[in-house]
Structure 1
């Protein structure tokens, strides 16, 4: 049962984060990036802390590993990851950013080789990562003319992917006594405070009235409830039970979800190349998860 539960959580994570790109794009028309990101985590943190207080036996940090885990979440997986991504996307195209961010599983593998030697991939698994990344390129198909432009934005997006990769591996090295939902919630509070400080330091002006406007309130609500409180709780729960390399493969599914969402909600076209990219991504997944797929097929035939 837990195997199917985790598969459903993985799909939910991909759908929630895939849809968030549309919400972020809408919200950035009215709010500056760091403030927008901070408000997202303000709301998400409140939701998760209340839930953790009601549902978890251990929801307050007590041990050294509890506090270290909260700091890893707040600094690497919330502040650096989102601050760099939100700012970086202002200086590069969405397509190029999606490919650069999809380096996440490859970067995670590199960090895991040094810090989590038991979680490394086989040569076939590494091939699967590269095949999946090629599939992302087919789905996104960035403008070749923009590949060498906007170096600053590209470096910020790569920095975001690197922060997520390193943070997920560092978190795996900790053994917090708290429930993963509580760790996520307190980490969000730390991340939100740091992003508010960065927003003020960068000269962004808080505009509460803009945050209450319908064109901002709706995407902000989606980001806070679905793509933050729900998705991050699923993400950190999966990290408790699975390798960071395996969990961060969700970065390959996100562009697929975004493409389908654009087709359903915005009337964008799904070309034959895009559909071919979907198949290449699935082929990459099959190579990485081949042992689990073979075991599943064996159980079905038994």
Structure 2
């Protein structure tokens, strides 16, 4: 198998596991309070990454870099996974993931404002399409047919993801990216577990096979292995391909949600998703980044 074929296989793996993460998470939430579930899966994934990163222990520099690890953990894990896991209780998984993947559009705006990245006509058109897409998806929240709170939480999840990415990009030169990911996931998971333990009850978790298997799958494949594959692709110069494949994730999420959760596909969902996909493509088509940060 050629290197290009291996890269394609890894990209397919990454997009598939990050896509099916959404309905699997919604299934797991039937058996656990949201914050405890979010904390359990991220701590397990973070500990796996720590074990993998141990041969590079000298690059951790925890005493020096802990403020960066903590800030990134709050933005990219505590807020992102917290809003995500709570919000999935209120709206369909496919709809929620579609709104969250407005993140590349928000990232385009923030990169222009705070990182000095270029802004041009095609990109501005793409940003406008992205907002129109979210407006289409949010019609149900305005009319009352779906939860407005769920839509707000999805937007908050996208916002925290974008802000976390900007923060990471501003500090990328100071940290080892594998340790950065391991630390932010582990620290964020511990914070979520603490908040969950204070506000929720461990006795409310139903430790059946469905919950355990879904949680382990997400922790191992979505969080730990997903990030390892991502870094392998980045190190091999495949960042552009990772970015171009990202728009497939909500499509897979919607398809998996229809199969696993019997969710319905509505016209405003189709229109909104097409607008967001078009937006992401237009925003990123002329952007060659050496690194782009994506969450699950």
Q: Which runs of 5+ in 1 are unaligned?
A: 294-302
Aligned positions, number:
284
- In structure 1, the residue matched to 2:254 is 259
**Distance in structure 2 (CA, Å) of the matches to 1:198 and 1:256:** 32
**Distance in structure 1 (CA, Å) of the matches to 2:86 and 2:274:** 31
- Structure 1 residue 200 corresponds to structure 2 residue 170: no
Tell me if structure 2 keeps the 8 A contact 1:37–1:83. yes
Relative distance call for 1:91 and 1:272 in structure 2 (3 A) is: closer
Relative distance call for 1:137 and 1:288 in structure 2 (3 A) is: same
Give CA-to-partner distance per residue, 1:201-254, whole Å, 9 cap, x none.
32x11149733x211111111110111112234556778999x99977766332
**Superposition map of 1:96-135 within 5 A:** 96-117=95-116, 119-131=117-129
Tell me if structure 2 keeps the 8 A contact 1:180–1:240. no
**Distance in structure 2 (CA, Å) of the matches to 1:228 and 1:27:** 15
- In structure 1, the residue matched to 2:184 is 187
- Structure 1 residue 24 corresponds to structure 2 residue 25: yes
Match of 2:226 among 215, 223, 231: 231
- In structure 2, the residue matched to 1:89 is 88
Relative distance call for 1:60 and 1:53 in structure 2 (3 A) is: same
Tell me if structure 1 keeps the 8 A contact 2:95–2:269. no
Matched position secondary structure for 2:184: helix
**Distance in structure 2 (CA, Å) of the matches to 1:246 and 1:126:** 22
- Structure 1 residue 76 corresponds to structure 2 residue 75: yes
**Distance in structure 1 (CA, Å) of the matches to 2:270 and 2:90:** 28
Relative distance call for 1:60 and 1:69 in structure 2 (3 A) is: same
- Structure 1 residue 61 corresponds to structure 2 residue 61: yes
Match of 2:158 among 156, 161, 168: 161
**Distance in structure 1 (CA, Å) of the matches to 2:167 and 2:233:** 15
- In structure 2, the residue matched to 1:296 is none
| TM-score under structure 1 length normalisation | 0.75
Matched position secondary structure for 1:30: coil
Shift of 1:162: 0.8
Shift of 1:172: 0.4
Relative distance call for 1:291 and 1:245 in structure 2 (3 A) is: closer
**Superposition map of 1:271-282 within 5 A:** none
Shift of 1:286: 4.7
Shift of 1:91: 3.1
Q: Which runs of 5+ in 2 are unaligned?
A: 289-296
Give CA-to-partner distance per residue, 1:89-130, whole Å, 9 cap, x none.
32344454334323212221222122211x344321332355
Q: Which moved more, 1:155-164 or 1:122-131?
A: 122-131
**Distance in structure 2 (CA, Å) of the matches to 1:165 and 1:261:** 25
**Distance in structure 2 (CA, Å) of the matches to 1:274 and 1:153:** 15
Shift of 1:175: 3.6
Q: Which moved more, 1:102-111 or 1:127-136?
A: 127-136
**Distance in structure 2 (CA, Å) of the matches to 1:224 and 1:82:** 13
